[in-house]
Structure 1
Amino acid sequence: MKKMFRGWGLRLLLTLSIVQIIVSWLPNKAEANVVTTRDRVNDARYVLASAAENNPDYPKHLLTILHALTSTVVVSLPVGADYAHCKKFNIYAYYNPYTKMIHLCERVMKESSDRIVQTIIHEAAHAAGYASECDATRISIIAMMAARRVANEVGYQCVL
């Protein structure tokens, strides 16, 4: 019995050491922001997949957006830095169809996890061909609600 607990203790200690090494490896907020971005993209993929299962009215749309998100690169800058496009237009994020990249602005990175996820889904909707701000907003709200997540009503461009 003691050997079993000793083994678990050793595993726990080893795991904590690895976590400490990883945390100490993140020397500044730039890497931490990259980790946050990657986690939120994974959350967005999960939300879209869950929403496609839970919402019988929109599975094709949601899976199309999930596919677009899978083939799109999502990037963000270190805390304190921002893209010129973000500053110029005072926006949360934007999709560049030429580079197939979603750029997350500093404003959105200061928001809640759900807000970042919804923004990624919104921009992925643009990547999937939903050019209209209204359509992208509607589909992101539908995805969040179908996945039972908090949906932010960000449809200032259109009547929802």
Structure 2
Amino acid sequence: AHPLLLIKLDGTRMALDANRNFENLFRAITTLFSISTTETWPTVMNACQIRPPGCELADSCGSDLAVPYFIVFMMLMTCVIVNAIITLVFQDFENASDPCQDILLALRPRWATLDPDRRKVMSVKHFIILFRLLAHPVGPVDMTEWKAAVQSSKFRLSQSAVPVKKKKSKSLWNK
């Protein structure tokens, strides 16, 4: 509807160049796309409002409606472009992988292997094995630091089992 309106309003074929004009629907759409990128839109707007004596032929004169049309068009296009950018950013956040979710998904089968009776408690020995099986953010990059800490009593573990209490929220085992 917008390009057709400009074809009807605009007669200034002389003031615009061969690529930017409103002589037909294709040229009108490409001109509107070009000015929606804010490239020389004031020049096109001024060319579309040329009145006598600036226009030679009756069908080459512009319209007084060019200014309000172009201002409204540019405001709408700015909103569309900003919304498109915001949509792309939100989609990127949605598609980003959640490392905590990946860790929990990796933890469940490994815990089940080390706790086959589903007692939800684990000996320290099994906990260390579980810790070694997990990936980097939770598990160690290099186990030498872990071993050194345990051996030097800086990180003392008791031989009692490590309890895991079930919360009222979604449980890892009830999936």
Report the TM-score, using the length of structure 1 for normalisation. Answer: 0.26
| Bigger radius of gyration among the two | 2
Larger fraction in helix? 1
Report the TM-score, using the length of structure 2 for normalisation. Answer: 0.24
User: RCO greater where, 1 or 2, for CA within 8 Å and sep 6 or more?
Assistant: 1
